[in-house]
A and B are shown apart, each in its own frame.
Chain A
Amino acid sequence: MVNPIHIVSIALGVAFALGFLGKREKLALGIVYTALAVMLAISASWLSHFWGNVTEPIQIFTGGFKPPFAINLQMGLAESVFTLLINTAGLLGAIYLANELLKAGKNMMIVFLVLVLGLNVMVMTRDLFNLFVFMEIQSIAIAGLVILNPDRKSIPAGFKYVIATGLISSLLLLGTVFIYYFGGTLNIDFISQESLLYVKGGSVAIFLVLLSIVLELKPFPANGWALDVYEGAHPGIGALISAASATAGVFVLDKLMVFGNFTFFNAISIIGAITFLGSNLLGIKQDNTRRLLGYSSVGQIGLIMTIIGLKPYLGENTKFIALAILLSHYLAKAGLFWLAGMVNADKLKDWGAIRGHRIYLFLMGTFIFTLVGFPPFPSFFGKWQLVMQLANNHHFWLLAIILIGSFFEGVYLFRWLGYAIKWDEVEQNYPKIKLNQFIPTVIFAVLAYALGFYFGELSGYKSTFIYMAAAFIAFLYIFDFLPVFVKNTLAIGAMALYYFANQDTFHGLTSIFFIIFVIGGIITLLAGYTFKGKRTGFYPLVMMMFAGLIGLLEAKTTLEFFFAWELMTAGSYFLIIRGKKSMEHALSYILFSVGGAYLILSGFGIAQIGHTGMGLDVLKDVHYYAPIAFTLMAIGFMTKLASIGLHIWLPGAHAEAEADVSPMVSAILLKAGILGLVMLFLSMGPQKLFGIDVLYVLSWVGVLTALMGNMMAAFQEDAKRLLAYSSIGVLGYALFGLTMMSHLGWLASLSIVVTHFMFKSLLFLAIGGVVMRTKTKYMYQMGGLIKQMPFSFVSVLIGIIVIAGLPPLTGFGGKWLMFNAIMENGWYFQAGIAFFAGVISFLYCFRLIHTIFLGQPKDELRNVKEAPFWMLVPQYIIITILLVLSALPNSMLKPIGQILLNYFPDGALVWHGQLAIGPYGYWNGKLILAIVTIIFLAVFAWLYIINRKAQKVKQFNIVYAAERPFRPETTHFAYNFYAPYQKALGFLVAPGITNFWDAVSDGAHAIADKIRSIYNGNGQTYLAHILGFTVIVYILMNGGF
């Protein structure tokens, strides 16, 4: 093994030697790379030495004396990991900066080497004064690097940095001096053994030392100087500061925390949490890329500080959590800074220039999802573990702060990602890929996945299914150049294979969702054959969403469930944002999803308190705060269902999606929320929160959602929005049915869920086909399309009859069951609202079919063709199923009823053939269909006999007060179709909830804007912040001076 001291000696030696090279910059750079590579190799070799071996760290003595007479360095597992991280970032960062280093010359290379050296020693040294010296060195080196790349912002930023770190260093020095005075030594290992804390002066000394390290880590709000540096420095330097320097800083803090007592730990965790929350809140107001990354860096480091501060509670788990989050931050932040350097777009919106570029977007997406903590990245597992541990220790406030902070981080990161994917008001301009910049970034992205896998293993996450799915998704991504036809066939084949391999695996209620997810997926995928070309990026995302959905069914533990949940969310986000005008809707979708997911996560956290395993059955036996856990999870799942109050994301997201994506996200994806509720309600049963029956409240939420959704649908001009609102309404019913917690209620609910899958796929596909042909979603711009698109017309006709719940088709079954269930249950007022809402669905149903297919055809749409064949195929498959189910209702309801008997043995239906007998009524679907058909045919025959010679007439041949209209636009009654209704009841759907969320968003932005005004760019102010921060923390910790 090479002595770790050579990390220092090589860096120093090379830095000196560079001076002798004259003007041979390239050679100098080569030597620098070699030096960094050797340093990296030394760290790596030590890591491999310590990996898996429980050996004591080795001590390196300088000058041949043992401490405390000389400085000693230490190399153990932790040191080897951290120096490896630093040296990797150093080497790759230097490669990334090749051009800048060559341009700026040897001096900059020397400074660069010195920086890396300083960071290495900060990690390894065990001597306090030595630590101080090398922290100074790295500060000056950073300032130098910032200034060496001169532009309008970097010079003042570097200057402020020097002043601020100078002040911080003097605090550290002061502390060091006092420690030496009171403790008699500067060696960390010796100091910790002294009881400095019991001497007043000693505790001040420790305070100064620790606080100066905290200040180095840029706590909110004393961090204006750091933000200016992030903004002003070259992104390559920013990456180094954020990834390497912060990593070293975190290590130093952890190392020195041996001095601290409980109060210090608490203080650190609180400072960290405030930093995390504050920086991320301020981040939402940012529109400068690098400053935004600065806020995010500061926030992430704050989070890690919190974790270090929580060490007394987290115990053994600290290492895992801190490393998972630190590594994610390290990889993602360096990656994003590097990307920012490549794309070179100052404002977030300018990132629209790379829209459509697969590779850049892939990298950016990877890093952003890593930061936010999505699977499969390490931060996901870290955050999961952190939440579980916080809950175990009853740290609910901290839990809330961290999740809210994470949410804010999601707000600005996803907004940024959205701009990059979709913002089309800037010119598309792909920066040329420079290999020296590109390769480091790719390496970090790959590492993010690899480490995610590793941390998953460590957390005990193993899901063969997800691994297989991931492999398939990767395959589809790599072979994305294949034509749609091939990829679609592969996707369908994979789903079919999964179906046949697992058709007997799922029993009970999951089997219903299994059919909806898998068969539903196959049917909607069929429509994909409509598309020509490659449809780049579509199939990996679709498969990601379906993998997530199926993962929910496969999940055995809460972790697996949550993993699948997040995977599904990520996949669907990318699918939704593919729509032409989806940017803001996808953002609101992902934000609501992330918010909902955090509620679910906290619910899981609370539920597992006192349990050792993570199996899903912990929900059946929640020891503490069960009603709170229940409510949190219920709200989380209802976010996906878009229940009233949480619905505002849905209409835009579903309406703006592509023709075949809408049915997937509407008819299939929403069922994930139902699945969650089913699982939750069955496991936990009714709960009382502060004496109020939560399910009772949810029953009102359900019916009000149904009412509001349906009424909103009736007032839409956009056909797809109409359908989206209708989904909200129908799922409101489903929620209502579930809250009844009875056999019939659940049967009604689940039958609605199944039929909703069918009619909503049918309608979205049909309307999608129409929109493809007419190029508009506004119904009043259409009209009279029945002649051009008869097949689509029939689809919509069947769809609306089912939605409206009219006999003789199968939708009536849901209504009938609901009636019986309510009678049994006694929630009559909810019932009244539910049926009122049901009748309102007639309004939008009629509007949908009338204004599109009936009425007056428009001139510009006279030549549209029938929807594409492959759009019609899935529709007619669904129609066939619907008709069969209408004729034989027991083929669906009886098996569901059988399943429900396991959970709700009482109150089942009695079947005599197709005659269902409930506690209050009866219904024979087959007979009704037969009777209606016979009457219909008889009447038709009669009319045909008397009217067979009816003459077909042309458009406008109508009785029109002796006039002959000639403009279809003025003759087609379509716009604002229910004007009187709106006049009478429109106030019920005034956009109160949208306004509420807008106000929340505006409020957050306003607060962020107000707070960030403390960063006035003035160096003196920043110094005052640092001092003020020190004083305030001191007072708060000690209760006075």
Chain B
Amino acid sequence: MEFGIKQILYLLLTLFIVLNYGLILQGIMPKIAARVGRRYGIRWYQPYLDLIKNHAKRSKITHGVMYYLGPVFRLTGGIGLLLFLPVIYGSPVFGNLSFAGDLTLVLFFQFFGVLGMALGAGESGHPHSAIGVSRGLSQVTALELPLTLGVISIAMQYHTLNISDIVAAQQGGVMNWTIVTNPFAGAALMLTFLGSMGRAPFDVVMAPQEIPIGPPTEYHSGFLGVLQLNRAIFPVAKLILFMNLLYGGATSWPELFIKTFFIYLWSVFVGVAFPRFRVDQSVRWFLGVPLLFGIIAILLI
């Protein structure tokens, strides 16, 4: 495949669209959650304001090289993940860099940023950062088992690890979507999806409502700005992955917006309805029902 300036521009365009979409989602979703709780909530454009504010801060401190690189790792992970995915099905230009690797790459590349960020947070020396990392990693490992089983089930269903091919196989209507044709794998995946979105009941990692805890504790100014960019991009990349695996992908940007919005809403929906788990509880939970779904999905291949 020819790879020239044009492709690079399309990459940047993808990034730009996803970034804005992500920022808007970041504004809307808390608002929805607030309304459920009969609160007014933030303005939908609040994330933009935060982003500008963080970049404009004048007091900036650093705890060392790794601390400095932490956000770089994180955002690289987010952008990389997005670009390794075929975003719009059938569009050669929005297939981006998916020719570099398959589903395995995407699944493992998720952790690149996580680990780098964790290291950066570690160097800050803040115990809350380390506690957050410990909790986050614990949770992520637990959801990996049902996730892997679900993914294997889907890959076996379509006899490929190529995401574009998986999307292609689901074309032709809702009845061809994996969530319909392979509901147990879909259920396993959608339950693990909850864990990866960092919302209740799995949000003790960040514990956003009370004391500052979690990897970003010590990050501020431009560092936090970079992290925020990632927080816009990374979830959308994950949404696109789940959309591709379970919901037939998207042939256009509007389709993508609609599908991903509802996938995201699922985690918000669960989040407002259920209270928070402790980490040991969530670890056990992932190895309960979602694992069962994963096992059934494998047995039914």
Chain A positions near chain B (C-beta within 8 angstroms) = 784, 786-787, 790, 793, 797, 800-801, 804-808, 812, 815-816, 819-820, 822-823, 828-829, 831-833, 835-836, 838-840, 842-843, 845-846, 849-850, 853-856, 920-924, 927-928, 931-932, 935-936, 939-940, 942-943, 946-947, 949-953, 955-961, 971-974, 977-981, 983-985
Contact = CB atoms under 8 A, between A and B. Distances in A.
Contacts of A793: 66
A328 to B, nearest CB: 53
Given A806-B112, A829-B298, A977-B134, A947 B60 contact: yes
B200 interface: no
A266 B180 CA distance: 73
B104 interface: yes
A920 B155 contact: yes
Contact of B104 (A923, A942, A959): A923
Nearest to B74: A939
Contacts of A787: 64
Interface residues on B, range: 35 or more
B198 interface: no
A958 B140 contact: no
A956 B124 CA distance: 9
B101, B122, B142, B161, most chain A CB atoms within 10 A: B101
Interface of B: 55, 59-66, 68-69, 71-73, 75-76, 79-80, 83-84, 97, 99-105, 108-109, 111-112, 115, 118-119, 122-127, 130-131, 133-135, 137-138, 140-142, 144-145, 148-149, 152-153, 155-156, 159-162, 211-212, 217-218, 221-223, 225-226, 278-281, 283-284, 287, 294-295, 298, 301
B71, B79, B137, B156, most chain A CB atoms within 10 A: B137
A946 B225 contact: yes
Given A935-B79, A951-B61, A807 B101 contact: yes
A838 B280 CA distance: 20
Contact of A973 (B103, B119, B134, B279): B134
Given A832-B298, A980-B278, A958 B124 contact: yes
Given A801-B115, A946-B55, A836 B60 contact: no
A835 B146 CA distance: 10
B190 to A, nearest CB: 18
A823 B105 contact: no
Contacts of B101: 807, 816, 921-924, 928
A807 B142 CA distance: 21
A921 B66 contact: no
Contact of A981 (B59, B280, B298): B280
Given A839-B140, A935-B76, A936-B76, A971 B119 contact: no
Contacts of A959: 126, 212, 217-218
B134 A953 contact: no
Given A950-B60, A958-B218, A971 B135 contact: no
Contacts of A957: 61, 63
A835 B125 contact: no
B136 to A, nearest CB: 10
A968 to B, nearest CB: 8
A932 B125 contact: no
A921 B126 contact: no
Contacts of A928: 84, 100-101, 105
A806 B145 contact: no
Given A836-B141, A842-B137, A939-B226, A828 B301 contact: yes
Given A846-B118, A981-B283, A832 B152 contact: yes
B76 A939 contact: yes
Given A931-B80, A981-B280, A943 B144 contact: no
Contacts of B287: 985
B147 to A, nearest CB: 9
Given A842-B115, A947-B221, A980-B138, A832 B148 contact: yes
B66 A973 contact: no
Given A816-B104, A835-B144, A928-B105, A973 B222 contact: no
6 contacts: A842-B140, A843-B137, A846-B137, A854-B122, A935-B83, A978-B138
Contacts of B278: 980
A960 B76 contact: no
A823 B194 CA distance: 26
A921 B162 contact: yes
Contacts of A978: 134, 137-138
Given A980-B283, A985-B283, 7 more contacts: A807-B112, A828-B298, A842-B115, A846-B115, A855-B123, A855-B130, A959-B218
Contacts of A842: 111, 115, 137, 140-141
Contacts of A806: 108-109, 111-112, 115
A800 B71 CA distance: 19
Nearest to A838: B144
A579 B85 CA distance: 50
A973 B131 contact: yes
A854 B108 contact: no
B72 A958 contact: no
A952 B68 CA distance: 10
Contacts of B119: 797, 846, 849-850, 854
A828 B101 CA distance: 22
A828 B153 CA distance: 8
A924 B149 CA distance: 25
Contacts of B133: 846, 850
Contacts of B126: 958-960
Nearest to A949: B60
Given A842-B111, A855-B125, A960-B126, A980 B60 contact: no
A854 B152 contact: no
B137 A961 contact: no
B100 A931 contact: yes
A922 B162 contact: yes
A855 B122 contact: yes
B97 A931 contact: yes
A839 B141 contact: yes
Nearest to B101: A923
Given A784-B125, A839-B141, A921-B102, A950 B61 contact: yes
A816 B100 CA distance: 13
A815 B156 CA distance: 17
Nearest to A927: B100
Nearest to A826: B156
The 8 closest A-B pairs by CB, nearest first: A921-B161, A854-B122, A921-B102, A980-B279, A973-B130, A984-B283, A947-B222, A984-B280
Contacts of B142: 984-985
Contacts of B152: 822-823, 828, 831-832
Contacts of A835: 144-145, 148
Contact of B111 (A804, A854, A946, A956): A804
Nearest to A849: B119
Contacts of B280: 980-981, 983-984
A961 B108 contact: no
A843 B141 contact: yes
Nearest to B297: A828
Given A836-B148, A842-B111, A920-B155, A961 B66 contact: no
Contacts of B79: 935, 939
A423 to B, nearest CB: 40
A38 to B, nearest CB: 79
B221 to A, nearest CB: 7
Contact of A805 (B66, B108, B140): B108
A678 to B, nearest CB: 25
A142 to B, nearest CB: 68
A197 B84 CA distance: 89
B140, B148, B160, B223, most chain A CB atoms within 10 A: B148
A715 to B, nearest CB: 12
B49 to A, nearest CB: 17
Nearest to B221: A947
Contacts of B284: 984-985
Contacts of B223: 943, 947
A972 B123 CA distance: 11
